Structure 1
Amino acid sequence: MSQSNLFIVMSIIAVISSQPVRGKDCVCELQNSESAFPESKLSRVEITALECIRNISSEKMTEVDRLVLGLQHRLQQLNENVSMLEKEDNGNLYGAVSLRIIQLELAEIQDLLDKLGTTNTNNQQLSTEMADQLRDMKYTIAELENFDHTMVVLKDQENQRIKRHLKLCEEELNATSPPPTPTMGNCGLGQMVNVSGAKTYSLTVYGTSYSFGAWGRDANPVPGDENKYWLVVLSSSNVFGHFVRQYNSLSTILLGIGPTDTHISSSNPTTNTIQGPNMVMYENALYYNCYNTLNVCKFNMTTRTVTNVALPNDAGFNNKFPFAHLASAYSHTDMDFAADESGVYVIYATTSNFGNVVISKVETSTPPVLSQTWSTTLHKKTVTNTFMVCGVLYATRYLDKDTEEIFYSFDTKTNTERYDWRIHIKKLQTNIKFLNYDPRDHLLYVYSDAYILTYEIMFR
């Protein structure tokens, strides 16, 4: 009702009130000349807005990025395998096998291209539909603003504009040089946003009897070893190992062809042999937990010599602080080893830190030396695995037999912790016994119940 009509009505009421008629009631019939507020239009706008939010999800927006990253990885792998096939000189002994691998990779690439085309088509259709809906909502909102006779909306918009100007003025008056924005890690990759589905999935030549082990590539190889892969299977009680097996390419390790074995010792287990499934290869040396000791061992693959450095006396070993989840513990996983863009780390727990995770940088000298150390609030027995990326420790936990979750991080650059990561890894076997990051290809290398897998990390 407009202010003029309201004034007339009030005047009529005043006149009637001042001239009462004895024994009779005075009745005024009021008629509103304004049209009713179209509440149904407002409801339709709200429903349309909710549909837009539901249809345009972050998962759909990043689908194209994930497919493109996967396609780039497969093309790079195909190029490497074709180059390897061209260099092979084995009298066509493995030529047919290599060609079959290349055929499978071409089929995977075609599948990714098909998915990418379908996703682009769906996104274009969604974009067209959303543009039409947004245009309709804009027109409807403009119509509804005509019912704002008291100018509430316009005045609120003006107030917001004035507040923004005042804030800008205050910021200009109090302006100082802003501090640099902290970023995760220190190597420029950006924030981790997702982990792809398994890129590689194969049973080792040892079969399902050996469910604990580790594999991967040298994080910082010596010249000539850039394409080599290593594999360690704990062949004694699923706890101990005494030799390292190496392959010349990814295809040969997946097929178990032409390995080279390098023995730490002739027997197993004994002094300086491997204890537990957590280890890492860096600069042609294997870093691992020495048998029945608090020592970090460094085994030089060329000279076949072992040097070591001891952890603090209150550090856990021999199943004092293993990785675990509610159902079970992973045997002899007190020490975990990780490599990233800056070097080698050992992850463990101490009684002085109440069983919480401690990170120590391992200087790769001979013998190795523990340098900078960080203490966290993450209890080690709530964790199933850890890995390092750009100086940031990430921890995983067991959700169920199909899903592992990256849930925690500790940035050694800023000493900040986060427990709110919700990045899921889709498992193809129940238990991940070994997990490590390769800074050269940004892949996670996984040993899961006798199977070897790779997953790709995606960064923003």
Structure 2
Amino acid sequence: MKLYAIALQCALFTLAEQASRDDSCVCELRNSEQRFPHDKLSTVEDNTSECNSNITSQKTLELESLLLGLERRLPQLQEDVAILERENDGGLYGALSLQVIENEMRDIMQLIEKLNSTTLGHQQLITDTTQQLEDFKAQMVELEKYDTMQVVKRQKANRILKRDLDQCKNGLHPTNQPTQPTQGICPYGQFVNITGAVVNTAGEYPGSYKYGAWGRDPKPEAGKESWYWLVMMTSNNRFSNYVRRYSSLSSLIVGVSVPGNVQIHSTNPTTNTIQGPNVVMYGEALYYNCYNQDAVCRFNLTTKTVTTLQLPKGTRFAAQLCLSVHS
């Protein structure tokens, strides 16, 4: 009896398994569309990003900076040559001036060489970029064949339509351009570039004085338009009691002070002499921090007189520079 039951159960299991196999259905699905090349699209995107990184505004700014530097240096060279022709005495001054001009010509040649190399680099970049854009265009046209639903085509049409609508709208309602700069108050615009200092010689007193100030009067007297001034910290690198005058930039570089020194006081330091390198000249007057005072001194180089402007108590010397510059 037990053997019969076991045999019956085995027969039922076999029939059920066979019936399950016979009822199964296998369908073969074939996609008539081509497989989209995702790896090719990824390659195009990577190449596009690399192309964009090679074209930056810094490259354009570098070329503009070199042209601006060359534009500034050539007139300066012409002016120095003209000064040499007027002031050359055939001796030491002439030899030093020739050395200055030689250094300036060397700097100009370096600018020209760098400008040439930069221009060639930009030309090669333009050629390579043009070829890459043609390749990108061909690859994208090839990839558009996989857009059977014409999604990309419709997006292009929508962008063109939106652009045309914007142009039409702006044409009917033109935007008034601002007449004043949007940022800052300087009428000459923003800085284009700032370069490092150019050193021609070690100066008149190499290694003797570490701190001081020099420049040119923006409001000079008649006949002193090319004059320069120099103030050196001569006592403990903190104090000074005179200003040194030069008839030209070449004279300043080679250290030939024809006008000589204009002394504020015979003692250094003392009342109303210079404390610190915060010095500026304007209108044939020297503005500086008065010695041990919360005040700005004004030394008139013509009359050799000093006037002071008292500042609020507690004013630090570092703040007086801004006050003297804007006076």
Q: CA deviation at 1:84?
A: 0.5
Q: Does 1:291 align with 2:291?
A: yes
**Which structure dedicates a bigger proportion of its chain to helix?**
2
Partner of 1:40: 39
Q: Which runs of 5+ in 2 are unaligned?
A: 1-19
- The 1:114/1:37 distance shift into structure 2, 3 A limit, reads same
Query: Quick one: distance in 2 between partners of 1:88 and 1:51?
Result: 57
Amino acid at match of 1:279: V
1:428-439 to structure 2, matched below 5 A, reads none
Partner of 2:243: 244
Query: Quick one: distance in 2 between partners of 1:64 and 1:196?
Result: 13
Contact 2:88 2:94 in 1 (8 A): no
Partner of 2:316: 316
1:105-144 to structure 2, matched below 5 A, reads 105-144=104-143
Q: CA deviation at 1:197?
A: 2.6
Contact 1:286 1:301 in 2 (8 A): yes
Q: CA deviation at 1:57?
A: 2.5
Amino acid at match of 1:24: D
Q: CA deviation at 1:161?
A: 4.8
Cα distance per residue 1:364-400 (max 9 Å; x no partner):
xxxxxxxxxxxxxxxxxxxxxxxxxxxxxxxxxxxxx
Give aligned pairs, total.
308
Query: Quick one: distance in 2 between partners of 1:173 and 1:315?
Result: 58
Contact 1:183 1:190 in 2 (8 A): no
Query: Normalising by structure 2, what TM-score?
Result: 0.83
Amino acid at match of 2:321: D
**Which structure dedicates a bigger proportion of its chain to strand?**
1
Partner of 1:302: 302
Larger Rg: 2
Query: Quick one: distance in 1 between partners of 2:79 and 2:177?
Result: 46
Q: CA deviation at 1:285?
A: 1.0
- The 1:133/1:68 distance shift into structure 2, 3 A limit, reads same
Q: CA deviation at 1:187?
A: 4.9
Amino acid at match of 1:261: N
Q: Does 1:224 align with 2:209?
A: no
Q: CA deviation at 1:271?
A: 1.3
Contact 2:296 2:311 in 1 (8 A): yes
Q: CA deviation at 1:79?
A: 0.5
SS in 2 for 1:335: helix
Amino acid at match of 1:286: L
Query: Quick one: distance in 2 between partners of 1:106 and 1:196?
Result: 18
Relative contact order (C-alpha < 8 Å, sep 6+): which is higher? 1
What is the percent sequence identity of the aligned residues?
47
Amino acid at match of 1:302: T
Amino acid at match of 1:238: N
Q: CA deviation at 1:146?
A: 2.3
Contact 1:232 1:245 in 2 (8 A): yes
Cα distance per residue 1:126-145 (max 9 Å; x no partner):
11111000111011112222
Query: Quick one: distance in 2 between partners of 1:186 and 1:80?
Result: 32
Amino acid at match of 1:309: L
Contact 1:214 1:231 in 2 (8 A): yes
Deviates more, 1:85-94 or 1:255-264: 85-94
Partner of 2:320: 335
Cα distance per residue 1:233-257 (max 9 Å; x no partner):
1111211111001111222212212
Q: CA deviation at 1:221?
A: 1.6
- The 1:227/1:181 distance shift into structure 2, 3 A limit, reads closer
Query: Quick one: distance in 1 between partners of 2:86 and 2:295?
Result: 42
Q: Does 1:156 align with 2:180?
A: no
Q: CA deviation at 1:31?
A: 0.9
Q: CA deviation at 1:179?
A: 5.1
Cα distance per residue 1:64-105 (max 9 Å; x no partner):
222222222221121011101111153544222222222222
Q: Which runs of 5+ in 1 are unaligned?
A: 1-20, 318-332, 338-344, 348-360, 363-460
Amino acid at match of 2:153: L
- The 1:174/1:282 distance shift into structure 2, 3 A limit, reads same
Contact 2:209 2:232 in 1 (8 A): yes
CA RMSD of aligned residues (A): 2.8
